Amino acid sequence: MKIATWNLKQAVAPKKPLPVLWKYAEEKIEADVVVFTEAKVPKEGVPAGWTAVWKPDGIGERRRWGTVIAARNGYELVDVTNGVSGRGGFSITHTWPGTVVITDVVKDGECVATVVGLYGITMDLKGNSIGSGLIAVPSILVSLEELYTSSRGVKLIIAGDFNLWPVDMPDFLCESFIDVVGATAELRGPLAGCSGCDVVPEECGHMWTHKNGNSPNAAVQNLDYIFISGHFAELVVDVYGGVGDFPDAWDMSDHAPVVLELET
């Protein structure tokens, strides 16, 4: 199973029409499950071959985009964004509805994972712009507390655009889950100029996933992440992404995908 996350840049000045972006995801990213952030579904609806879960009106009146989880290749999605009652259930209080989508991923009748698609909105709790997810991401993670301790917490994957540099990642997330990019750093060379890196340069294996502006000297930023629960630790086959693996990504968006391949 391949799981990816990719920001479609629908908040400001999209680079490509939505059908083109979804086609790129299908033909170039080739994942079975994709967490799209700053995303919309094409006006024509979810493209053929895909199923998707999202909040249709987006994050709010001024933000008609949000987080979309989409699947194909026989993987089905069950929407559990607002929690589930009964045995093994959980409840959630959403601070920013539309930033988070949660689905069970089902294949051949078995739930193989629960995926949290997360967008770190760059606002504080009063709606002021702060330019990062420093307040949003920890707040969202706290709202998911019952999910972690439910039966779904065993097979949990959290992915998306956190709008955080590695050094700003919440301690809870790093202590409770595995950052698949950091855990496979030895597969890649150091990322030159990595902004907000949390390790010494020679050990950095981050990916350039966000190009902040069109300047040749744009900051090199790793803002997009995939975290997994310990259940998946021995099932990781490959981790790749960033502009290094998707050299045409900047033609599509200001973000490049991150992809996790699991043996399932």
Write out pLDDT tens, residues 46-96: 999 999 999 999 998 889 999 999 999 999 999 999 999 988 899 998 889
Query: Average pLDDT in the 2-18 region?
Result: 97
Query: Average pLDDT in the 143-154 region?
Result: 95
Handedness of CA 117, 69, 242, 190 (dihedral sign): positive
Q: Which domain holds residue 157?
A: 2-262
Instruction: Count the residues in the chain.
Output: 264
Write out pLDDT tens, residues 209-221: 999 888 778 899 9
Q: What is the CATH number of the domain that holds 225?
A: 3.60.10.10
DSSP string, 147-175: HHHSGGGGGEEEEEE----GGGS-HHHHH
Answer whether 56's CB lies under 8 Å from 30's CB: no
CA 160 to each of CA 26, 108, 116, 223, 255: distance values in angstroms, whole numbers, following the listed order: 18, 26, 8, 9, 11
Q: How many domains does the chain have?
A: 1
> Cα angle vertex 252, ends 249, 255, to 5°?
55
List the one residue out of 143, 240, 243, 233 whose CA is nearest residue 192: 243
User: What integer pLDDT is reported at residue 216 of this predicted model?
Assistant: 78
List the one residue out of 208, 209, 169, 233 whose CA is nearest residue 38: 209
User: What integer pLDDT is reported at residue 61 of this predicted model?
Assistant: 86
Give the Cα separation of 99 and 120 in Å (integer).
7
- Residue 239: beta bridge partners? 260
Give the Cα separation of 153 and 169 in Å (integer).
20
Q: Is the pLDDT of residue 31 over 90?
A: yes
Say what the pTM is.
0.97
